[in-house]
Structure 1
Amino acid sequence: MKNLDVKVLDKIVKGTIAAVEKSKTQIFDIYEAARAEMEKVRRDVDRIKQETADIIFKVDELEKKERRSRLRLMEVSRNFRQYTESDIKGAYEDTSNVQLELAMARLQEQNLRRQRDDLELRLKSLKDTVEKAEGLVSQVGAVLGYLGNQMGEVVTQIESLQASQIFGAKIIRAQEEERRRVAREIHDGPAQAMANIVFRAEVCERLIDTDIARSKNELKDLREQVRVALRETRKIIFDLRPMTLDDLGLVPTIRRVLDTLKERSGIFPEVKIMGEEKRLDSHIEIGLFRIIQEALNNVEKHSQASLVWVRIDFRPSVVSAVVEDDGRGFDSAENIGNESFGLMGMRERINLLSGELNIKSESGKGTRIFVTVPLKQ
C-alpha cells in the first residue's frame, strides 16, 4: 500500500508540473505580447506628445496672427474712405482665412489631446498587465523549481515533506526574486542606456555632415552615457560576484562594500582588522563575505542606524567577524522562530562552514552579530 501511495503521489506531482509548465508558457506569451504592445504604445505616446506640442505652438501663433488681422479689419472698417475696395476686401479675406485656419488647428489640438489622454490610460493599463504577468511568471517559476528539485524528497522522504516545502519554497522564491531583480536592474539600467546610446549615435550620424559643433557635443554626451552604462554594469557584476573577492580577498572586498554603503545610505562605517590578515580557502571567503554582506543589508534596510562597526579577527585556527550597529534593534526573544529569509540563509551558510552564529539585539540598543568559522590546520 505504501509503494502504491508513492507511485500515485509521483504521478500527481508529474501531472502538476506539466500543467504548471503549460500555464507558465501561456503566461509568458501574454507577458511578451503585453510588453511588445506597451513599447508600441509608449512610442505612440511620445509621438502624439510631440505633435500636440507642435500644434499648441501653431495655435498660439495663429491666435496672434488672428488678433493682428482683426485689428487690421477694424482699422479698415472705421476708415473705409481712406482705403480702396480691394484693401477692404483683402482685409476681410485675410481675417476669414486666418480664423478658419485657427479653428481647424484648435480642432486638431483637441483631437491630439484626446488621443494623448487615451494612449496614456492604455499605457498605464498595459504596464499593470506586464507587471502582473511578470510576477506570475516568477511565482510559477518558483513553483516549478520547487516541484522539480524536491521530487526526490517527495518520493523518498514523504514524512519530511512539510518542512522541506517551507524552506525549499523560500529558497526557490528567493532565487527567482534575485533573477527578477537582476533582470530589472539590467533592463532599467544598462539596457536602457544602450538603447539611448544607439539613438544618440544615429543622431550623430545625421549631424556629422551638417553641424560639426553640435555633433561633437552629442559625442561628448554619448561618451558620458557609455561611462554610466559601464559603471552600472560593473555594479551589477559586483553584486553578483565581486571580482575583488577572488583577486584581493575578503578584507578589501568588505572595505569596498562599506564604502558603497556609506555613499548610498549615509551610514558611517568603521572596520577593524585584528591578527595577521591572510587569504582563506575560497569557500570560506565567499561564505563569510555573504554572511557579512547580508548583515550589512539588514543594517541598511531595517536598523535606521547612523554607525556600523565591522571587526574581523584572524587567528591560526579560527576566523571571527562581528557586525554591530547603533540602530533601533529588535527583541531577540520575540524573534525566535520568526526569522527573515536573510537570517535563515546566514544560519545555513554558517552551518555549511561548521561555524557558529550568534545574534544579540535589544529594542533601541542596536544589533550585534558574531560569527566564528574554524580553519583547517
Structure 2
Amino acid sequence: MAGEEVQQQITTAIQTYREEIDRIRRELNEVESLLRQGMAEVDKLSMRETSIANRVRDLDVNLERYEKTDIKTFYTTLIEVQMRLQTMRAQVEQLQTRRETLRDRQSLIGEFVELLEAAAAQLERSAKIVDLPFDPQTMIANIIQSQESERLRISLQMHDGPAQAMSNLVLRAEICQRLLDRDLDQARAELVALKNAVNNTLQETRKFIFDLRPMTLDDLGLVPTLRRYVAQISEKHKIDLNLMIQNLDQRLPGHYEVTIFRFIQEAINNVVRHSGATQARIMLDNSDNTLHILIEDNGSGFAVQDAIASAGTRKNMGLANMRQQIEVLLQGEFGIESTIGRGTRVAATIPLP
C-alpha cells in the first residue's frame, strides 16, 4: 500500500514539474521575443548615435558655421540618444541573463523528471515481482536531497566562477571608459586586456555549462561526452586519466546515458577531490548486453566500512547517490573496494535494455 502511495506521489511530482517546464518554455519564448526587439532597438540607437556623433565632430571643427540653437540641439540629442542606448543595453543584458537562468532551470528540471520517471518505472516493476526491497520514502528523500545538493554546488560555482569573473569585467570596462578621455594608448592596452579577459571568462563559462549539462550528451551520446569530459578533467587537474571503452557503439536510452554519466562523473570527482591520485583508469565494457564499469585510482584510499556506515550523511552523500543511481535507477549492482595507501576501485554492473 505504501508503495502505491509513493508511486502516486511520484506521478504527481512528475506532472507538477512538467507543468513547470511548460511554464518556463512559455516564459523563454516571451524573453526571446523581448530580446530580439531590444537588440533591434540597440542597433538602431547605435547607428543614430554614430550619425549624431559625426555631426558633433563636424560641429567642433566648423563651429562658426552653426547657430547656437543648432549646437545646443545636437549636444542635447546626442546625450539623450546615449542615455537611451545605455538603458537599452542594460535591458538586453538583463534579458540575456534571464534567458540563461531559465535555460539552466529548464535543463535541471528536465533531468530531475527523467530521474523520477526512472524511479516510477522501478517501483512498478518491483511491485509486480516482490515487496519493495528498499524504503521508497527514503529513496524520494535521497533524490530530493541530491537535487538540492546539486543546486547548492551550482550556486557556489556560479558565485565563485562566472559571477565573480563578470564583476571583474565590469570594473575593467569602467577603467577603459575613464581612460578614453585621458590616455587613448593606455585605453587601447586596457581594451586588449579586457578582450582577453572576456574570452577567458567565456571559455570558463562554457566549461561550467558542460559540467552542468553537456549538450553532447543529448546530441552525440554517452561515449563522446565521456571522452571530452575525461580530457577536460585530466588537463585541468593535471592527473593522468585513461578512458577505455569497448563494445559500446550504440546509443542508450536517455535516462541510462544521463545516469551512467553522472555516476562516472561523481566517481572521477571523488578521485580528483579526495584521493590525491596521480593516475586513474575508467573502463566501460558491454558484454552480453551487460555494461561493466570500473574506475580505479592509485590514491590514498579510505576505510570502506566507515564510509558505507555514514553513506547517508551529508559528508558521504555522494557514495549514497552512486549506489542509488546503479542499484535503484538502473537495477544494477554497485561495489567499492579500497585500502588505505593503496587506492580505490569502484565497480558497477548494469543490465542494458
* TM-score, normalised with respect to structure 2: 0.54
Are the aligned partners of 1:275 and 1:315 in contact in 2 as well (CA < 8 Å)? yes
- Find the aligned partners of 1:367 and 1:325 in 2 and give their Cα distance: 6
Secondary structure of the residue that 1:280 maps to in structure 2?
coil
Which of residues 342, 359, 368 in structure 1 aligns to 2:318?
Answer: 342
Seen in structure 2, the aligned counterparts of structure 1 residues 341 and 192 have a Cα distance that, compared at 3 Å, is closer
Secondary structure of the residue that 2:242 maps to in structure 1?
strand
Seen in structure 2, the aligned counterparts of structure 1 residues 207 and 246 have a Cα distance that, compared at 3 Å, is same
Residues 125-140 of structure 1 mapped to structure 2, 5 A cutoff: none
Are the aligned partners of 2:146 and 2:321 in contact in 1 as well (CA < 8 Å)? no
- Find the aligned partners of 2:188 and 2:211 in 1 and give their Cα distance: 35
Larger radius of gyration: 1
RMSD, matched Cα: 2.5
- Find the aligned partners of 1:300 and 1:210 in 2 and give their Cα distance: 48
Residues 178-197 of structure 1 mapped to structure 2, 5 A cutoff: 178-197=150-169
Query: In structure 1, what is the equivalent of residue 338 of structure 2?
Result: 361
- Find the aligned partners of 2:137 and 2:235 in 1 and give their Cα distance: 39
Structure 2: where are the runs of 5+ without partners?
Answer: 1-134
Which of residues 296, 299, 302 in structure 1 aligns to 2:274?
Answer: 302
Query: In structure 1, what is the equivalent of residue 217 of structure 2?
Result: 245
Answering whether residue 290 of structure 2 is matched by residue 314 of structure 1, we say: no
Seen in structure 2, the aligned counterparts of structure 1 residues 286 and 169 have a Cα distance that, compared at 3 Å, is closer
Q: Which amino acid aligns with 2:241?
A: P
Q: Which moved more, 1:221-230 or 1:194-203?
A: 194-203
* TM-score, normalised with respect to structure 1: 0.51
- Find the aligned partners of 1:370 and 1:207 in 2 and give their Cα distance: 59
Residues 76-225 of structure 1 mapped to structure 2, 5 A cutoff: 172-225=144-197
Identity of aligned residues (%): 46
Answering whether residue 293 of structure 2 is matched by residue 292 of structure 1, we say: no
Q: Using CA pairs below 8 Å that are at least 6 residues apart, which structure has the higher relative contact order? A: 2
Secondary structure of the residue that 1:302 maps to in structure 2?
helix
Are the aligned partners of 1:316 and 1:375 in contact in 2 as well (CA < 8 Å)? no
Query: In structure 2, what is the equivalent of residue 230 of structure 1?
Result: 202
Are the aligned partners of 1:182 and 1:236 in contact in 2 as well (CA < 8 Å)? no
- Find the aligned partners of 1:323 and 1:334 in 2 and give their Cα distance: 20
Q: Which moved more, 1:195-204 or 1:321-330?
A: 195-204
Q: Which amino acid aligns with 1:313?
A: D
Seen in structure 2, the aligned counterparts of structure 1 residues 365 and 195 have a Cα distance that, compared at 3 Å, is closer
- Find the aligned partners of 1:373 and 1:164 in 2 and give their Cα distance: 21
Q: Which amino acid aligns with 1:347?
A: R
- Find the aligned partners of 1:315 and 1:301 in 2 and give their Cα distance: 31
Seen in structure 2, the aligned counterparts of structure 1 residues 192 and 363 have a Cα distance that, compared at 3 Å, is closer
Structure 1: where are the runs of 5+ without partners?
Answer: 1-162
Seen in structure 2, the aligned counterparts of structure 1 residues 336 and 292 have a Cα distance that, compared at 3 Å, is same
Q: Which amino acid aligns with 1:353?
A: L
Q: Which amino acid aligns with 2:340?
A: S
CA-to-aligned-CA distance 1:314-368 (integer Å, 9 cap, x gap):
3452222111112222343454433221111111111211111122223333221
Secondary structure of the residue that 1:206 maps to in structure 2?
helix
Secondary structure of the residue that 1:278 maps to in structure 2?
coil
